[in-house]
Amino acid sequence: MKRFYPLTTSLLALFFFSFSVNAQTYTAVRPGNWQADIPAHSIWDVSGQPPVNCNNCLITINSGVAVTLNTSITLSGNTKLLIGDNTAPGGAQLSVPLSGSGGTSFATGYNIILDNTGGSGASKIVLFDNLSKITVTPTTPASSGMYDGIASSNGGFLKMVGNAPIGFFANGTVQFMGSAVNNPLPGPVTLSAPGTLPIILSSFTAALDNKSVDLNWTTSLEINSDHFTIERSPDAGAHWNVLGTVAAHGLSNLPIDYSFTDAAPAAGTNEYRLVLVDRDGKYAYSGVKTVRAGLVSSVSLYPNPARDYVNITLGGEVAASVSIRLISQSGQLLMEKRVDHAGGTTVALPVGNYPQGNYLILVTGSDGAQQVSKLLISKQ
């Protein structure tokens, strides 16, 4: 997990401008096998097929072209493999065949190796858009094998996309087992030579809930992740305080939901961020989410469950004007009351005429800040 890779057209533009004009270029312009059985069946343009050890190359699989990986390729130096482009609709695909290689080493497998030996490699595989993908057949008796897929190399090997096992010592023995990393792996995303996929954070939210702030986030892909550190800043990012940690899944190609509650947010405006930490100690930051307590704060209900009346105690600024709404489970507005100079007051709402069940109390300040509380009306 090195960094986030939100792939945009501008990023790709920078990528092309920064790449040396002297790089060897190869383009797959028709579907078929990466390595042709005879030259007449080649999928590549007039530049020919990339060498099996490609150093400082630019390799493109054009949009709409499906390539089957049937050889072992090593990408080193500043090599870029771009799967898909912006010249035509439809994604590109790189796939490992159903039968697999039957290889007994990475040299004999159907794979692409991002070489970072010595720590100097900058090779990358870029999936241009969400229509482009890498596919490795799931584990079956006739599937791709342990040496097939996409891996990074720095003495040993780490399988980035493919079937278990995913880790190998420098001498080739299995280091640790794991399930399939991703099948298929859709774009946009970048795989890089330094060793691991980033965590892909698909969402991160922070919302005020009564006296607490609920943080929720979802990852769509993880590899080598260790934990998330939750940080809060009460002064617009000048200082960050650690609130706690949440253990990460470590390896997943499925969406995983996480949550954390700040039970005692500071008064006023709070900013929140996540620190995504790898097992090797490397880390990256999420975006920042802001929660403002606003004019409404510290709403509490009693009694709860309620029978005839519910008392609503309002914190916040004394001069605040608020509206209090009673809402049914189906979202129907049942009652609304406006209160001026609400801070520090208690408001009683009659609820005896409503059926037993769950309801919501929504308190909204004049600045738009809201707090939602659950209310149970009981007839017992």
* Of the candidates 127, 184, 181, 135, the residue with the CA atom closest to the CA atom of residue 157: 181
What is the Cα gyration radius of the chain?
28
- Higher pLDDT among residues 90 and 266, named by residue: 266
CA 280 – CA 262 distance, rounded (Å): 28
Position 131 scores a pLDDT of 83
Position 8 scores a pLDDT of 36
Give the dihedral sign, CA 28/30/35/41: negative
DSSP annotation string for 51-81: PSEEESEEEEE-TT-EEE--SEEEEETT-EE
pLDDT at 86 over 60: yes
Beta-bridge partner residues of 365: 322
Q: Per-residue pLDDT tens for 301-355? A: 999 999 999 999 887 655 567 889 999 988 899 999 998 877 778 899 999 999 9
Structure tokens at 319: 């001069």
pLDDT at 153 over 50: yes
Contact indicator for 246, 256 with CB cutoff of 8 Å: no
pLDDT at 284 over 60: yes
Position 180 scores a pLDDT of 46
Q: Per-residue pLDDT tens for 354-366? A: 999 999 998 887 7
Q: Which domains does the chain have, with CATH numbers?
A: 9-192 (no CATH), 201-292 (2.60.40.10), 300-377 (2.60.40.3080)
pLDDT at 52 over 90: yes
| Strand residues in 88-224 grouped as ranges (E) | 93-96, 111-115, 124-127, 133-136, 149-154, 156-161, 167-168, 174-176, 185-186, 189-192, 200-209, 212-223
pLDDT at 142 over 80: no
pLDDT at 282 over 80: no
Q: Per-residue pLDDT tens for 181-190? A: 555 677 777 7
Q: Does the pTM of the predicted model rise above 0.75? A: no
Write down the mean pLDDT value for the chain. 79
Residues constituting the chain: 380
Cα 12-16-20 angle, rounded to 5 deg = 155
Contact indicator for 180, 150 with CB cutoff of 8 Å: no
CA 28 – CA 45 distance, rounded (Å): 6
Averaged over 86-92, what is the pLDDT?
71
